[in-house]
């Protein structure tokens, strides 16, 4: 994996659903989970790849390598909007921990420039990487896919335990957190 550049499949300016205010949302490629309901299959592979675009009716390349400075140039364009709306940036994926070094560097840079930082993650990672992330985000948005260990493994392909461990850490540290459970009919909507 290259750490000096990040593989990103979308940078969405003027987002209003990924945290407070007006935000720039950065979508990183690569995910270790394989949720059966995944609506972003183009995000799973960490490398740029050719995929079929059903609207354009042709193959297109998804994913492009960016340096920190190239992403920052795009982020800074909306500094006035962040300030007015109390917005900032949100890093998401895929799963941001697949490109953890680059993501952390980017978050640090934003914080240094006074830009509010949020992340969306499954929290499927080591406790040390998770703690490092927490030091650099103002808002943690965490998706818990299933509350049952067997069902979690069955539907996402990865164990639930490390995720719960990280959730405990976030609670202990009293971080600013939004915990979400996506309701998937037939998967996690029973009592």
34 binds ligand SF4 (CB under 6 A): yes
Q: What does the alpha-carbon distance between residue 51 and residue 53 come to, in Å, rounded to a whole number?
A: 6
Q: Does 94 bind ligand SF4 (CB under 6 A)?
A: yes
Q: Residue 48 is inside which H or E element, if any?
A: none
Minimum Å distance from CB 144 to ligand SF4?
Answer: 11
CB atoms within 10 A of CB 51: 14
Q: How far is the CB of 124 from ligand SF4 (least distance, A)?
A: 8
Task: Give the Cα separation of 97 and 84 in Å (integer).
Answer: 30
Give the number of residues in contact with ligand SF4, rule: CB under 6 A. Answer: 11
CB of 74 to ligand SF4, least distance (A): 22
Q: Quick one: 95 or 138, whose CB is closer to ligand SF4?
A: 95
In whole angstroms, the minimum distance from the beta carbon of 33 to ligand SF4 comes to: 4
Provide the token pair at 184.
Answer: 């998937």
Residue with tokens 């998804």: 62
Nearer to ligand SF4, 33 or 103 (CB): 33
Q: Considering only the stretches 20-28, 32-40, 61-69, 172-180, report the one whose residues sit in contact with ligand SF4 under the rule CB under 6 A.
A: 32-40
Contact 22, 82 (CB under 8 A): yes
40 is a site residue for ligand SF4 (CB under 6 A): yes
Task: Name the helix (H) or strand (E) containing 90.
Answer: strand 88-92
């Amino acid at each position: 994996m290259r750490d000096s550049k990040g593989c990103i499949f979308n940078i969405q300016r003027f987002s209003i659903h990924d945290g407070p205010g007006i935000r720039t949302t950065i979508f990183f490629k690569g995910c270790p989970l394989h949720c059966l309901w995944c609506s972003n299959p183009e995000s799973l592979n960490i490398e740029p790849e050719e995929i079929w675009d059903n609207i354009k009716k042709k193959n297109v390349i998804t994913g492009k390598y960016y340096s920190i400075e190239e992403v920052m140039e795009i982020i800074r364009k909306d500094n006035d909007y962040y300030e007015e709306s109390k917005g900032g940036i949100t890093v998401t994926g895929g799963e941001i921990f697949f490109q953890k070094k680059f993501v952390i560097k980017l978050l640090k840079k934003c914080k240094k420039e006074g830009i509010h930082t949020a992340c969306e993650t499954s929290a499927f990672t080591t406790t040390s990487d998770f703690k490092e992330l927490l030091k650099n985000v103002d808002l943690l948005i965490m998706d818990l896919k299933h509350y049952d260990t067997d069902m979690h493994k069955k539907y996402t392909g990865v164990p639930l335990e490390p995720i719960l461990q990280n959730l405990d850490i976030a609670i202990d540290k009293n971080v600013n957190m939004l915990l979400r459970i996506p309701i998937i009919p037939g998967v996690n909507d029973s009592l």
